Amino acid sequence: MADNATLFQNIYNQYNVLVYNVALHYIQNVEDAEEITQDVFISVYQNLDKFNSDSSLKTWIYRITINKSLDFIKYKKSAKRFFIFGKKSENEYEIQNISTFEHPGIAIENKENAQILFQTLNELTENQKTAFILSKLDGLSNPEIAEIMNTSVSSIESLIFRAKTTLKEKLSNKFESYRKK
């Protein structure tokens, strides 16, 4: 029991920053990212004995974090749909909350541009968003991303390429409105 607790603490110390940052990139809200981090580590604690050592612990934790984050986004979207005829203020708060997200680790001079990027990132498909986040924000290599997403390296290359193309298109469309500001 004590060994389990020590092992869990070591895992937490090693991966808490990783989990928190991945969640933050997906959810774009500090409080919600902390909530996801809690959920991920509770899940790790509960399933540690079921962990399949075929994949690395890091890959396993990445997968749990991505799944929890995507589930959270789906839950938020369905809650939004549910409240669409209800409390209007809650919807507005959520939208504002996401659009004004400021990543705590981004340099001040890049904050405004990063905000636009995070907004546009939410318009990508789930897989494109995941591949882009892991590659561009987490700095993982394509084989590492392929292992996490359980697909081939060529698929990852294609996903990242499509993500960048879509982002460029969407940002070009936004250019006029931002120039007017």
Partner 1 sequence: MEKERFVNEILNSVENTTKAIPREALFQKIEHRIQERFVSGKTLWLVAASIVILITLNIFFLNENLHSNTPETAHLEYTIHNNNQLYR
Q: Point out which residues bind partner 1 (CB under 8 A).
A: 9, 12, 16-17, 20-21, 24, 30, 33-34, 37-38, 41-42, 45, 103-107, 110, 113-114, 116-117, 120, 136-137, 164, 167-168, 171-172, 175, 178-179
Closest separation between CB of residue 55 and partner 1, Å? 23
Decide: 35 and 78 in contact? Cβ < 8 Å. Answer: no
- Residue 158 tokens, joined: 């294609």
Closer residue to partner 1 in complex, CB, 34/94: 34
150-157 contacts, C-beta under 8 A, 24 or more apart: 156/131
Closer residue to partner 1 in complex, CB, 97/110: 110
Closer residue to partner 1 in complex, CB, 81/174: 174
Closest separation between CB of residue 3 and partner 1, Å? 15
Phi-psi domain of 28 (left: phi exceeds 0; alpha: psi -120 through 50; beta: other): left
- Going from the C-alpha of 144 to that of each of 32, 68, 147, 156, 160, the distances in angstroms are 26, 19, 5, 10, 13
CB-side neighbour CA atoms (13 Å) of 109: 0
Closer residue to partner 1 in complex, CB, 10/154: 10
Closest separation between CB of residue 62 and partner 1, Å? 15
